[in-house]
Structure 1
């Protein structure tokens, strides 16, 4: 009968639906499972210029549109209701597809059914019609159009000309409060304070927006730690996960943090990652997977994939197994790039089978220069780094400015961002931004400034409903975006004052308060029990000193290091530990100090390998009148070979009686490489450290549910839709409940229990505006007549759950 299905096909569909219902179905590999079936069985009649029955499979949009009948080709998420599945399973010869030859085998039907049930995921940028577009290697010189209505900013001149040609009206400016919230979250990842909002909105200076942008960009630590999320994703950098325990993976956190704080030129940034030092080589070293791995996951192939994707906007993953189904890249090109870093000759494997062919070190754009395969890997990497960062390589600069535009505007000039061979919606704007970036000396801050100071960035966000997407996308203005998991967590900690006391990431977060008194250089000297620093392997000594405080302490830090390990207690409280003399610990210690006498106890240990040993330690305390009190290691300190226990307590509760004067080690230069880090720690005494950021914390269950990835692979986009897991975590997670409880106590302590004051201040802090009358009524009902910690916590939760809080508009 018409529309009937074969028994084997029906069985395949039933099995797939059951598997989907139970959650046991494997993910569909579009490139390797779906594309070959559609190309081989449907391509003759429905791809390229062929549209039999008006139906085209060229891309996802044309499949959804259907053919002459007007019936959609598929219903994403509903295989049983999809015409495509109905046709390939039909036994009616007038309906069955393919119309010629044998019916699809049950295995192929099952793959396509799984694909449709999974909402028909499509490789971004792929089309069966092929993609003939490719920008020239070198950047084009772009002539700016004349300005419209006095809008002289180069970005606006290009956008205005584009929108005029498209018949799109110029969008108006967003209001000042919206702009400040948007630009603060975009540039430093933090909510502006109510006081900052009031001051900005009251400022009548027409230049206040550019001035605020500069102020945010000049906050080097906040800017760096916000954009570190972006780079952690792109560089597969994390603090825990696959490979770290076994030593098959290295993080680059200290190097990356410092590079972003210092805003090193991007070409230097790329060179230091492609031809790395020990501090930055974790990126190209990838992950050494345990056991047998697919040939497309060896370290050299990971190198090719990651370098191509991160720095050139080239997706080589498909071309790591065979010639790409979705782009022009060939298996040989991937292996040639991999061979640049490979210590041995690489044989090509196609679909995990040896081919007998071998790679020759090279890269995709040989016209800029070749890699000398006769050189050792380190020199080949240096050659590649120079070629990639040659100003003539427009792919490098286009790739980064496109990613930055996507972060700030919600969608790239090229979409998706990993398919740089896709035609941009505005080629002139992309090449002008890229050329401006190169001319600035590859200054990333400059490009952020350039985009954010444009009227295009500062415009209202358009309605997205009914707007065309895909190849028909038209730019109407900056799109609303969801906060990242890190932005959401930081904003939550700003509201509740519940950030952790210290980061998991090994970074120096010194940011002295410019208004604080200038700190003197470190006074500490390297000391031991003899002037030579002579010490047997593994020797451990205890040292002590005292500091007398006669005024209240507003801020204090302890900085210490030892060759090769140090632990410090103050008044019996452990305050810090370091097992690397090149990395002094620097910890806030205000809570450990008391009025009057304070005892500092330190245990320092030589390495088991022996060699000279020494201790360097300093306490800096800022007191109420702004003065500084300190104690620093010198020959006034005392030492003993008797050691306290792990809690800093003396055996039997009795202090040793054999304390002796310490000696200043004669050759202080032995440990000179640690001087800069020690000085950074001392500078931190100028004031409290800024709030610990979520990017510096290991991923929590809440952050994972909000889309923070495990970074086993390069990540260039995060989920944008609400998931069931996210909803469950936001509603039920115990740690989130505890965070809101901390917030309840904080708000009552700082603002009192007047419900009117709490209502206005909470909403202004969270959303950047005052509540509407209806909102004020609803919030007061939550708070009650006399707000409690619990009711304030409930109010914070309700506000944080609002889409307006979680979106950047």
Structure 2
């Protein structure tokens, strides 16, 4: 494994290793360099259909919905789509396509169906000789599609979907407790026949819960106290203590909600004043634990400018397509964020992937629109006008003749109607995915998909409604279950997820904000200023005599190059799940970021000033970064490298090596 420099940057980049080969040994033993080791990259694999584009400069990726679906419908679906699977080969879903062994994403030369498409042999060619051939240009598109990874719209299938989720709430009776597992979530999982998993150890649970609930590593002192505590209820108390940390909770969950509500502090639209942020309103809502139904109503029908940025979207400069107008953005944002519905496809034409139509998308858009709204199909006017309407009229409808503000208020009431179980199901599914690594319904924005455990989803959603739409209460329910406290499941990137894979936590990557916060926490290098216009002062009753300014968090800052390479989105679009695989850019940045090295060096100098003894340094560093003490082998290796009189350069290298370990980069 060749190395050209240490993380401290103190050696000429010629391959020379300082202190003999000590650094090389430390990095090989302690760190798995993310760009080399793929086995530990991540748990759940890439999002369905996502692959790095291999197009040439300026060439757009193949459009699955508009370019690939028509080809497959015209030439393949009759024999291999829907209920048809001639020769045992079905292309109904991406999964069935790949299960047939006829396609290998990223490898067109090993995708046999492409060979059959271009074959001239009457015994092999597909479609068979009596049917029309696939035109050469279309065959080339299919090849490019495979080369790019066979992107597939989440939830799409060629046949008629066989599942329609209920709209109204469904209150489920809890099954009997098994083996003393009395928590409602565990009873529902046990009732589904899913075997119980072994519990995670205390250190793993402490680190997992801290990162999941407040986004920070437990300190060395917190780790020692928790690990030494013999109380049987210490895990429940930990969850309660974490959720009570009002500012830490709000700082952390701001990332989730910013992604979901397309909120940011800089970027597209802010320079031209064509976009406004909702940060102040959102942060107050998180600090106060505002009921989710109140949040929904204030987002959809804002009483002032504080929350209006969500429905107002981005006013793009110049001429835009019909799918980028403010009313259509409103339709897409409300549908995706609050209902788990993909209206983007239906905003152009009747959806290929579910039952939503162009009229559905425009009906929702017309609720927002200040003027009559003409339907555009594939960016062409149809001559038909849209009337304000929402897609679930069985529990009520918007008055199309009412003024715009009244229409929005009526929509907010319908979204939070006692008979609307769709909104609660969507948000509790998102919360489950945040803590467990995968939703009960997957993908998260395809809530028409059948859940792996409908009773669990419906019970959580009804409980959420019945207890005042309390977000923290639902997070507590999940985090105190034995399911969440179980040992995590790690999958290789190409391994299929077990049917009940979200019944135990999946190993998750640290988010960009997690990683940056952890570096600042370990090194004391967090900036003083931040970009989010929020009030982080302690509540008056909690304010100490000399209030300490809480550490600035990455969620409060505009994105920078490192955070973008670590997967933070630009939020021009709603984002409900982040990439799960390591990118080449991320690997390079973690190896070469001068800012990261500078922060680690400052941290090393501070640690040396506080505790210059190598044994104390190593113990404190491991407890702070990994929530455990080092093994004897690790202690000896690092002690040998640091020597009897450690310097900042050597300690910087050790800190970098620890931060590159999968044990640090993953939430297990």
Aligned to 2:240: 214
- Partner-residue secondary structure (3-state), 1:339: helix
Aligned to 2:591: 731
Report the CA distance between 1:201 and its aligned residue. 1.6
> Which of residues 178, 185, 194 is equivalent to 1:155?
185
Q: Once the two structures are superposed, what CA deviation does each residue of 1:478-498 show, in whole Å capped at 9, x if it has no partner? A: 111001110111111111111
Measured in 1, the distance between the counterparts of 2:494 and 2:667 equals 19
1:426 paired with 2:453, answer: yes
Equivalent pair of 2:622/2:630 in contact (CA under 8 Å): yes
Aligned to 1:622: none
Aligned to 2:141: 111
Compare 468-477 and 38-47 and name the one that shifted more. 468-477
Aligned to 1:89: 118
Compare 698-707 and 734-743 and name the one that shifted more. 734-743
What number of residue pairs does the alignment pair up? 614
Equivalent pair of 1:782/1:794 in contact (CA under 8 Å): no
Report the CA distance between 1:176 and its aligned residue. 1.0
Q: Once the two structures are superposed, what CA deviation does each residue of 1:281-340 show, in whole Å capped at 9, x if it has no partner? A: 001001111112110111100000000000001110100000000111000000000000
Measured in 1, the distance between the counterparts of 2:54 and 2:577 equals 25
Report the CA distance between 1:35 and its aligned residue. 1.5
Measured in 2, the distance between the counterparts of 1:691 and 1:706 equals 21
Measured in 2, the distance between the counterparts of 1:77 and 1:225 equals 39
Aligned to 1:588: none
- Partner-residue secondary structure (3-state), 1:228: helix
The 5-angstrom pairing of residues 724-763 of structure 1 reads 724-752=584-612, 754-763=613-622
The 5-angstrom pairing of residues 193-342 of structure 1 reads 193-276=219-302, 277-342=304-369
The 5-angstrom pairing of residues 624-663 of structure 1 reads none
- Partner-residue secondary structure (3-state), 1:354: strand
- Partner-residue secondary structure (3-state), 2:108: coil
Aligned to 2:71: 37
Report the CA distance between 1:401 and its aligned residue. 0.3
**Cα distance change of structure 1 residues 20 and 480 upon mapping to structure 2, 3 Å threshold:** closer
Report the CA distance between 1:464 and its aligned residue. 2.6
- Partner-residue secondary structure (3-state), 1:434: helix
> Which of residues 82, 102, 112 is equivalent to 1:73?
102
Q: Once the two structures are superposed, what CA deviation does each residue of 1:133-171 show, in whole Å capped at 9, x if it has no partner? A: 122111112010000111111111111122xx2xx4311
> Which of residues 577, 582, 601 is equivalent to 1:722?
582
Aligned to 1:626: none
- Partner-residue secondary structure (3-state), 1:348: strand
**Cα distance change of structure 1 residues 348 and 392 upon mapping to structure 2, 3 Å threshold:** same
Report the CA distance between 1:470 and its aligned residue. 6.2
Measured in 2, the distance between the counterparts of 1:743 and 1:466 equals 34
Report the CA distance between 1:41 and its aligned residue. 1.3
Measured in 1, the distance between the counterparts of 2:636 and 2:586 equals 28
1:697 paired with 2:554, answer: no
1:446 paired with 2:476, answer: no
- Partner-residue secondary structure (3-state), 2:109: coil
Q: Once the two structures are superposed, what CA deviation does each residue of 1:344-403 show, in whole Å capped at 9, x if it has no partner? A: 000000001111111110101111111111111111000100110112100000000000
Report the CA distance between 1:741 and its aligned residue. 1.5
**Cα distance change of structure 1 residues 390 and 27 upon mapping to structure 2, 3 Å threshold:** same
Equivalent pair of 1:64/1:73 in contact (CA under 8 Å): yes
**Cα distance change of structure 1 residues 337 and 515 upon mapping to structure 2, 3 Å threshold:** closer
Equivalent pair of 2:263/2:310 in contact (CA under 8 Å): yes
Aligned to 1:392: 419
| RMSD value, Cα | 1.7
1:789 paired with 2:648, answer: yes
- Partner-residue secondary structure (3-state), 2:257: helix
> Which of residues 104, 118, 123 is equivalent to 2:153?
123
TM-score (norm 2): 0.89
Q: Once the two structures are superposed, what CA deviation does each residue of 1:432-453 show, in whole Å capped at 9, x if it has no partner? A: 0001111110010100111111
- Partner-residue secondary structure (3-state), 2:74: helix
Compare 479-488 and 467-476 and name the one that shifted more. 467-476
1:770 paired with 2:626, answer: no
Equivalent pair of 1:336/1:359 in contact (CA under 8 Å): yes
Report the CA distance between 1:194 and its aligned residue. 1.2
**Cα distance change of structure 1 residues 782 and 318 upon mapping to structure 2, 3 Å threshold:** farther
**Cα distance change of structure 1 residues 321 and 409 upon mapping to structure 2, 3 Å threshold:** same
The 5-angstrom pairing of residues 453-532 of structure 1 reads 453-465=480-492, 469=496, 472-511=499-538
Aligned to 1:368: 395
- Consecutive unaligned residues of structure 1, counting only runs of 5 or more, are 1-18, 67-71, 519-685
Larger RCO, structure (CA 8 Å, separation 6 or more): 2
- Partner-residue secondary structure (3-state), 2:376: strand
Report the CA distance between 1:63 and its aligned residue. 1.5
Question: Normalized per residue, which structure has more strand?
Answer: 1
Aligned to 2:25: none
**Cα distance change of structure 1 residues 476 and 444 upon mapping to structure 2, 3 Å threshold:** closer
Compare 401-410 and 290-299 and name the one that shifted more. 290-299
Measured in 1, the distance between the counterparts of 2:641 and 2:330 equals 54
- Partner-residue secondary structure (3-state), 1:358: strand
Report the CA distance between 1:462 and its aligned residue. 2.7
**Cα distance change of structure 1 residues 763 and 471 upon mapping to structure 2, 3 Å threshold:** closer
Compare 789-798 and 107-116 and name the one that shifted more. 107-116
- Partner-residue secondary structure (3-state), 1:224: helix
Measured in 1, the distance between the counterparts of 2:352 and 2:596 equals 45
> Which of residues 134, 150, 157 is equivalent to 2:164?
134
Aligned to 1:539: none
